[in-house]
Every structure is written in C-alpha cells, then in structure tokens.
C-alpha cells in the first residue's frame, strides 16, 4: 500500500517501533483474569472495558451476552484488531498488546478520561493552545486512518482518550469501515453528515464528524446541545449550523460541515495556520 510521504517515516519519537517484547509474567493471565465490576473502565455498545492487575485494559463481551450478541461482538473485536494491526506504532493511538477470539482485545492501559468527560468537568479555562494541540493530534490520527483505507465512522470526543499527561488518543475502531467494507458504526446526530442512513461512511462523513468534534473541543459543548435530536437533525439537513462567530477555529469547523475540505490533510493545513498556538 502506498502511503503519503509524511507517513512513510516516523518523525515522532514515540512512533519508533519497539521490538515486540515478550509479555511480562503478570500479563500471562490477560484472558483468564476474572471479570470484576469494580474494575470496569467503560461499558458501551461494543463491549465492556476492564482494567487488569497488570495495568493493561481488556475489551471483552459482557458476561451475560447471549450467543448471538457474542457473535456480533466478535466481528467488532476482529475489526478493531485489524485496524490496530495496520496502524502499529503510529502516534495518537493506543498500543494493542494481544488479541484472542474468545477473550477480546488487550490494549495499553491509560489512566485518564475521555476528552468529552474532561471538557465537561473542567472548571478552569483550558488554554487555547492546548485545545488546538488536541485538535491537531486528532486530525493527524484521522489522517493516518484514512491513509490506511480506514474510515473511523464514529469520530467524537467520547472516542478520544486523555492520559494523565494530557496526551490524546483516538480510540474505538470496532465499527470502522476497512477498505470500503462496511463497519457497524454510525455517528450520533450532532456528528452525522445528513445523508441516507444506509449510504457509505466516507472521508467526507469523517470530516463532518471531525468538525463537530472540533466545535465541542473549542466550546466544551456539542453543537446545538440545548436542542433535542429531531430538531438538530432537521436543522443540519437544511444546512443550518450553530453560530461560529465567537468560536475559535470557527472557519475550519464551518468548512468541515459544508464539505469544503477534500481531505483531512486540508484540515490539518488549515489548523497549522491558526495563530496563538
């Protein structure tokens, strides 16, 4: 696969591939460590994430899943495994440690919260330079995915993870589209480019969702957070979006919403030109 020139060499120090280390002894029980409710990090539609004693995180089925649900989840886990297999050692992604069809996926454990949680619960003002840094990192991550023929299909700050040092990671590829093969994800209303729900997820739909994510990063609220979903859907369909007059990066958000960027690379170029960062 031919990659864009900026992805062929790893310029970022953290992107240097480390030789696959053999798993330390405390990691031998990744898939047999029992499920404990107090170790649950998050529980979503694609499975439950638990913290293991070794510090790694296990994404697995729910203990009370029916065989049918287990089967669907296995497809999602396989999809996520395939994505992590492609983007090995790229910055702004977690490291995948292990995978098993029965047990799920073992990922690098991160102490922290989703970016949405952080934005919603932060009392003090977050410096604009920091917000722009996260926005640039997530655009870079999306660029990496697109370069590997992956459409995330659920870009939102709830799928961005902040660690203790405030590095940000793009997560959850369980519903992503790979090489044009449909995934199981679709964006929620405020991140969804108005279209036939059965139509393909594309670079354009990811860029629209990125625009709404950028709005949330800059304002700490989702677009039209005070309206109900049907109303937002109706407005978006008519091309009516929240006012961006006082929102940092407003012009970039607008262009993401109105389809004026042809690739995430163009979004990155626009973000590079923002001053004060």
Q: Which residues bind Zn ion (CB under 5 A)?
A: 27, 54, 56
At its nearest, how many Å lie between Zn ion and the CB of residue 31? 10
Q: How far apart are CA 47 and CA 15, in angstroms?
A: 28
At its nearest, how many Å lie between Zn ion and the CB of residue 103? 12
Contact yes or no for 69/61 (Cβ under 8 A): yes
Strands 57-60 and 96-100, bridge-based pairing? unpaired
Contact yes or no for 102/31 (Cβ under 8 A): yes
Q: How far apart are CA 56 and CA 44, in angstroms?
A: 18
Please give the DSSP secondary-structure letter assigned to residue 24. P
Residue 15 tokens read as: 């992107």
- C-alpha distances in angstroms, 275 versus 128, 129, 255, 260? 10, 9, 18, 21
Give the helix, strand, coil percentages of the chain, each rounded to 5. Answer: 40, 15, 45
Nearer to Zn ion, 109 or 242 (CB): 109
| Complete edge-to-edge strand list for the sheet that includes strand 160-163 | 112-114, 160-163, 168-170
Nearer to Zn ion, 94 or 214 (CB): 94
C-alpha 154, offset from chain centre: 7
Nearer to Zn ion, 56 or 143 (CB): 56
Q: Please enumerate in sequence order all residues whose Cβ is within 8 A of that of 35, keeping only pairs 6 or more positions apart, or say none.
A: 48, 50, 60, 63
Contact yes or no for 98/80 (Cβ under 8 A): no
Q: How far apart are CA 15 and CA 91, in angstroms?
A: 5
Nearer to Zn ion, 84 or 215 (CB): 84
Residue 181 tokens read as: 């093969």
């Amino acid at each position: 696969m031919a990659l864009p020139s900026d992805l062929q060499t790893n310029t970022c120090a953290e992107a240097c591939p480390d030789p696959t280390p053999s798993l330390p002894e405390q990691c031998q029980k990744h898939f047999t460590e029992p499920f404990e409710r107090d170790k649950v990090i998050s529980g979503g539609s694609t499975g439950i994430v638990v913290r293991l004693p070794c510090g790694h995180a296990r994404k697995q089925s729910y203990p009370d899943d029916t065989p049918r649900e287990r089967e669907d989840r296995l497809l999602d886990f396989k999809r996520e495994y395939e994505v992590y297999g492609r983007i090995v050692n790229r910055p702004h992604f977690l490291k995948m440690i292990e995978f098993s069809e029965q047990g799920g996926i073992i990922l690098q454990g991160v102490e922290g919260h989703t970016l949405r949680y952080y934005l919603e619960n932060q009392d003090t003002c977050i410096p604009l330079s920091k917000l722009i840094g996260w926005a640039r990192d997530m655009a870079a991550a999306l660029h990496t995915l697109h370069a590997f023929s992956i459409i995330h299909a659920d870009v939102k700050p709830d799928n961005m993870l902040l660690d203790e040092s405030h590095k940000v990671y793009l997560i959850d590829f369980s519903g992503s589209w790979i090489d044009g093969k449909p995934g199981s994800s679709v964006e929620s209303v405020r991140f969804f480019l108005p279209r036939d729900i059965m139509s393909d997820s594309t670079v354009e739909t990811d860029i629209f969702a990125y625009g709404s994510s950028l709005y949330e990063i800059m304002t700490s609220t989702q677009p039209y957070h005070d309206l109900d979903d049907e109303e937002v859907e109706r407005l978006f369909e008519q091309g009516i979006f929240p006012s961006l007059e006082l929102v940092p990066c407003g012009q970039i958000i607008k262009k993401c919403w109105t389809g004026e960027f042809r690739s995430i690379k163009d979004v990155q170029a626009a973000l590079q030109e923002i001053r004060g960062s």
